[in-house]
Amino acid sequence: MVLKDSAWDWIDENRERIIEFSDAVWEHAELGLVELKSSRLLADELESHGFSVERGVAGMPSAFMGVWGRGKPVIGVMGEFDALPGLSQKAVPYKDPLRDGAPGHGCGHNIHGASGLAGAIALRYALEESELEGTVKFFGTPAEENYDGKVFMAMTGVFDDVEACLSHHPSQVNTASLRSSNAMNSVKFHFHGKTSHAAGSPEQGRSALDAVELMNIGVNYMREHVIEKARIHYVIEEGGGQPNVVPDYARTWYYIRAPERDQVDRIYEWILRIAEGATLMTDTT
């Protein structure tokens, strides 16, 4: 308990500064892979507490890793700091954007990064005070919302030497659970057709947008027949220029989630067949 009490004491003593970091990341509100101000803020603070910081980890400019201590155990702590598009918001309980149309924190990642950082630093001082051996690593993990930054960090071996790597998520209560996150595929479908004048010669065209729409309709009919806990989301990123031109290119972006990897794989394979069916119906590719 002495070690834990020491860490809690450091957090209580630095409470206002931790909140300042959370508020600053809230105001920066940067999208995934371009969280340059937010990541610099957190990485600089780690360095000021004696951590050795590597920036640009796994080829991502806003990913970083801070290391303090020596020997085992090697304990990792993760922190996120990316925002979501279009959710800019002042710290008030009604809609009032900081900047109209700008990104904002709709998932609490400003708190995630600041509180994870605080936990790693508090552990560093608790180990030092207790004269215990151990290594603390803080992982600044970008792009959780859109490009799965942690996956690329794992692929390059960033987490290989940790005995445990701890993460958390802001919520309405403080609790620990054994609940797992969903497995997920993020995939973009590109459809190619043939452009033509939609009024003068529509028979000459092949609409890539029609393929996107038919695919989405097929997926929506599929929903009845997948497990209840599956989650399938999509947006149409590109659908043509103007109504009187048959669009020769269209693109839709899907997130496919389920509790287990094999469940995602089965749904994903089904969606691939639906996409192929959409090309057959529209004579596109």
Question: Could you tell me if residue 157 is inside a domain?
Answer: yes
Domain shared by 20 and 88, yes or no: yes
The side-by-side arrangement of strands in the sheet containing 231-238 is 183-192, 249-258, 231-238
pLDDT at 145: 83
Q: Determine the Cα–Cα distance for residues 254 and 226; give it in Å rounded to an integer.
A: 16
The pLDDT of residue 216 is above 70 = yes
Question: Could you tell me if residue 219 is inside a domain?
Answer: yes
What is the overall mean pLDDT for the chain?
94
Question: Could you tell me if residue 21 is inside a domain?
Answer: yes
For residue 1, name the pLDDT band (cuts at 50, 70, 90): low
Question: Could you tell me if residue 74 is inside a domain?
Answer: yes
Tally of domains within the chain:
2
Which residue, chain included where needed, has tokens 């008030």? 92
For residue 180, name the pLDDT band (cuts at 50, 70, 90): confident
Question: Could you tell me if residue 29 is inside a domain?
Answer: yes
pLDDT at 178: 76
Tokens coding 207: 């609409």
Pairwise pLDDT comparison (1 vs 143), residue with the higher score: 143
Domain shared by 155 and 261, yes or no: no
Domain boundary among 132, 166, 200: 166
Q: Residues 193-205: pLDDT tens digits?
A: 999 999 999 999 9
> Residue 187's closest CA among 250, 255, 239?
255
Handedness of CA 64, 256, 167, 117 (dihedral sign): positive
For residue 174, name the pLDDT band (cuts at 50, 70, 90): confident
Domain that holds residue 197: 183-282
pLDDT at 218: 98
Question: Could you tell me if residue 92 is inside a domain?
Answer: yes
Instruction: Judge if pTM exceeds 0.75.
Output: yes
- Give the contacts of 104 (CB within 8 A, at least 6 positions apart): 29, 83, 84, 86, 87, 88, 89, 97, 98
Tokens coding 14: 């630095």
The pLDDT of residue 44 is above 70 = yes
CATH number of the domain that residue 13 is part of: 3.40.630.10
3-state secondary structure (DSSP) of residue 62: coil
Question: Could you tell me if residue 174 is inside a domain?
Answer: no
Neighbours of 31 (CB within 10 A): 17
Domain shared by 120 and 215, yes or no: no
The pLDDT of residue 2 is above 90 = no
The pLDDT of residue 271 is above 90 = yes
Question: Could you tell me if residue 177 is inside a domain?
Answer: no
Cα 198 to Cα 165, 209, 235, 248, 280, distances in angstroms: 56, 13, 24, 12, 21
The pLDDT of residue 30 is above 70 = yes
Q: How many percent of the chain have pLDDT more than 90?
A: 87
CATH number of the domain that residue 207 is part of: 3.30.70.360
Radius of gyration of the chain (CA): 23
pLDDT at 171: 83
Domain shared by 50 and 146, yes or no: yes
Please give the average per-residue pLDDT across 2-19, as a whole number.
92
Domain boundary among 166, 195, 217: 166
Domain shared by 11 and 91, yes or no: yes
Q: Which residues pair with 104 in a beta bridge?
A: 84
Domain boundary among 166, 199, 216: 166
Q: Residues 47-89: pLDDT tens digits?
A: 999 999 999 999 999 999 999 999 999 999 999 999 999 999 9
